[in-house]
Structures are given as C-alpha cells and as structure tokens.
C-alpha cells in the first residue's frame, strides 16, 4: 500500500513540475495574414514625351503639263502624348493623341518649267504633325506590343526659288490624312514605361494653285507622306 502511495505521489509531482515548466516557456506570436500581391496592369491614364527621326516624300504634279517631281527630305522631331489604356485579360485597348514639332526638311529638288525652261528649287518643310489613334495591344507581363491607327493632321510649308529669275515665295498648307503604326512598350515599374514606335503618315492629295515667276498661277496636285521612328517615355497615373 505504501508503495502504491509513493508511486502516485511521484507521478503527481512530475506532472506538476512539467506544467510549471511549460507555463514558463515563451509563447509564439500569432501568424499575421500575408497581403496578396497586386497584379500589374496597363489600365490607366498616361502622359509622356518622345523624340525621333522622320523621313518624308512630297510629290508634285503639274495639272497643265502632266510633269511631276518627288522631293525627299528628313529631320528630327519631338513632342508629347496623352492617352488611356484599358486591360482585359491579356488584351489592352486604348486611345491616344500626340503632337510633334518637326524639322523634317532640308533637301530640295529642281523643277523645270516645260513651257519656258525656267528652273526652280522646291523645298517642303513638315513643321508639325498631330495623330489621334486607337491602339490594340497584347500584354506579355510588363511588355506590351501594339498596333495603332487613326487620323493625322499636319502643317507643311513649301518654299520656291526660281533659279532663272531669282524670284522666290512660299506657301503653308494645313493637311489631314490617316496613319498606321506599331510599337512595343516596356514597364520600368508600376508607373514609368519606355516605348519604341514606328508611324506611317499619309496626307490626302490636294490641288492648289501656286504663283509662278511670271506672276501667274500654276495648278498643281500635291501628295505628302512621312515615315517616323519615335522613342518615348510615359508616366501612368494610379499605378
């Protein structure tokens, strides 16, 4: 009987000592919930700028004689853009408006009057362009290849210098047309991105009357097109 009492007493003492030791152990802090990462999106309003280089071709056709001449020139350009993107899964749709001041000029071409043989220099200068386009892209994580298309506006100044008589003049035309292009944009973080873009601009043909060296007017038809390569940076709000 005394042996059973001794064993029971010992067991109770061991259990009490274990409970006391467990009470003295530090308690683990409760696990905090981990916030889920917010997925990247191209949705939002953005504002940016660009620089680039352009090439142009201006074709003149004399409506009286049927003679024609093409004038090619090139130069730098730069400006800004504003737009909005909306992402649906991997597809991104958007709209954008831009403005570019242009120095696409410099080359000239000699035109020979088929009537009196006078020679004239023709020097067009594409002074600015503005594009309003819709965009469609396919998002590959933080890369966005896209295509675009829409309406184009431009201001072209044509200078004329008669090499025979020394008379000169100029005329400025506001033009409208269409544009298509493609590019790829890469996000640097949730707000900033870089892009490289190509744009083709075709202005509608226009008939006009230009003054000649004899004080008369010469009816002509003009077509003007431009190829432009642009490097741009955008800041997207609300990233």
- For residue 59, being part of any structural domain is answered with yes
The answer to whether residue 80 is domain-embedded is yes
Residue 211, pLDDT > 90, answer no
Evaluate whether residue 198 is within a structural domain: yes
Contact 138, 94 (CB under 8 A): no
**pLDDT > 90? residue 75:** yes
Residue 171, domain member (yes or no): yes
What pTM, to 2 d.p., does this model score?
A: 0.77
Q: pLDDT, tens digit, for every residue of 107-120? A: 666 555 555 555 66
In a domain, 31, yes or no: no
Q: Please tell me which residue, 58 or 12, carries the higher pLDDT value.
A: 58
Is 9 domain-assigned?
Answer: no
Range of the domain at 218: 44-236
In a domain, 225, yes or no: yes
CATH code of the domain covering residue 142:
2.40.160.20
Asked whether residue 3 is domain-assigned, the answer is: no
Q: How many domains does the chain have?
A: 1
């Amino acid at each position: 009987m005394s042996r059973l009492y001794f064993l029971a007493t010992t067991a109770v003492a061991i259990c009490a000592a274990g409970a006391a030791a467990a009470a003295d152990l530090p308690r683990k802090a409760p696990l905090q919930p981990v916030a889920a990462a917010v997925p990247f999106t191209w949705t939002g309003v953005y504002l940016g700028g660009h620089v680039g280089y352009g090439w142009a071709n201006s074709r003149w056709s004399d409506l009286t004689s049927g003679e024609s001449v093409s004038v090619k020139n090139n130069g730098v350009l730069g400006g800004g853009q504003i737009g909005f993107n909306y992402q649906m899964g991997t597809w991104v749709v958007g709209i954008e408006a831009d403005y570019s001041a242009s120095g696409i000029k410099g080359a000239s071409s000699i035109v020979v009057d088929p009537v009196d043989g006078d020679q004239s220099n023709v020097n067009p200068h594409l002074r600015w362009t503005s594009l309003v386009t819709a965009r469609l892209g396919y998002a590959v994580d933080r890369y966005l290849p896209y295509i675009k298309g829409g309406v184009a506006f431009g201001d072209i100044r044509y200078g004329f210098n008669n090499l025979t008589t020394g008379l000169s003049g100029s005329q400025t035309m506001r033009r409208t047309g269409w544009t298509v292009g493609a590019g790829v944009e890469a996000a640097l973080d949730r707000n900033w991105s870089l892009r490289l873009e190509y744009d083709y601009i075709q202005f509608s043909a226009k008939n006009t009357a230009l003054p000649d060296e004899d004080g008369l007017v010469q009816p002509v038809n003009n077509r003007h097109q431009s190829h432009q390569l642009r490097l741009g940076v955008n800041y997207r709000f609300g990233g």
